[in-house]
Amino acid sequence: MAILLSCLLLLLPGCRSGRERRVVIGSKNFTEQIVLAELLAQVIAARTGLQVERRLNLGGTLICQQALRAGEIDLYVEYTGTALTAVLGESPSSDRAAVYERVKKAYRERFGFEVTEPLGFNNAFAMVVRGEDARHLKLRTISDIAPYAPRWRAGFGYEFMERPDGFRGLVQTYQLRFAETPRIMDLGLIYRALKEKQVDIVAGNSTDGVIAALDLVVLEDDRHYFPPYEAVPVVRRQSLERHPEIRDALHALAGQVSEDEMRRLNYAVDGQRRDVPQVVREFLRGRGL
């Protein structure tokens, strides 16, 4: 028995070493999140030598948050306005720097998470209409749609309907009334539904790559209802303590992705049907990363 125990003890460090050299990256369930998870994965693998496991399409914000808290993943990319309202339950704010600092402080104190430096782009909720309607009705801002909304059908994602920075606040801020209760739709289907005139307005994301390709128009948030949504990696403190080299890898990505670049990456995947890892490799090569 003593010999068996000794052998087991000799084996354990190797098993532990294997687990400790692995980092798990998660994502929500839409294209941009999958692209960003792959971006983190390739940079961390190249700069740290860690084994990277990808757990993609986990679901919405709260599912990823819970996975991070449970230690099922080590990091994922969140958006500051989403963290502020959907996770922390605070009121929206238009002050980008203040939102970032508030989220960073609260995540550290409440969850033991590190909110690292922004990747460089803001992905706001975007109210999107058909280009032909925007041109014919001279629509430029969200305020412009108020006279037409009572005849329009809206299509929104489940999260947008439930969040404090979503549907309820939007219609109050802009005094909107639609023809019927908004249809709750999968985010992957909303633009096609809009183009095919199943709905007349949708809530998308400002960095979605297919907006221009489908001749759709993003309306200006002229009353500044939506908060900033800077993309930021969120990492468990325990993961950074085990692998401090992750911090340097993420620092290399700080400010490297503009809104135009994120839109092009999304379009390469959604519009051109290209392979996500290859699209990310080309982007990193072009940035010298």
- Can you give the pLDDT of all 289 residues of the chain as single tens digits? 444 444 443 444 444 444 578 999 999 999 999 999 999 999 999 999 999 999 999 999 999 999 999 999 999 999 999 999 999 999 888 899 999 999 999 999 999 999 999 999 999 999 999 999 999 999 999 999 999 999 999 999 988 999 888 999 999 999 999 999 999 998 778 999 999 999 999 999 999 989 988 999 999 999 999 999 999 999 999 999 999 999 999 999 999 999 999 999 999 999 899 999 999 999 999 999 8
C-alpha to C-alpha distance for 237 and 84, rounded to whole angstroms: 19
C-alpha to C-alpha distance for 27 and 82, rounded to whole angstroms: 14
The answer for 5, left when phi > 0, alpha when psi is -120 to 50, beta otherwise, is alpha
Looking at residue 1, its pLDDT comes to: 46
C-alpha to C-alpha distance for 183 and 158, rounded to whole angstroms: 9
User: Domains along the chain?
Assistant: 21-122+229-286 (3.40.190.10), 125-219 (3.40.190.120)
Order the strands of the 231-236 sheet from edge to edge: 51-55, 22-26, 75-79, 231-236, 113-115
The reported pTM is 0.83
The candidate with the shortest Cα–Cα distance to 103, out of 86, 120, 126, 122, is: 86
Q: Which two tokens stand for residue 238?
A: 């325990």
**C-beta atoms surrounding 54 within 10 Å:** 17
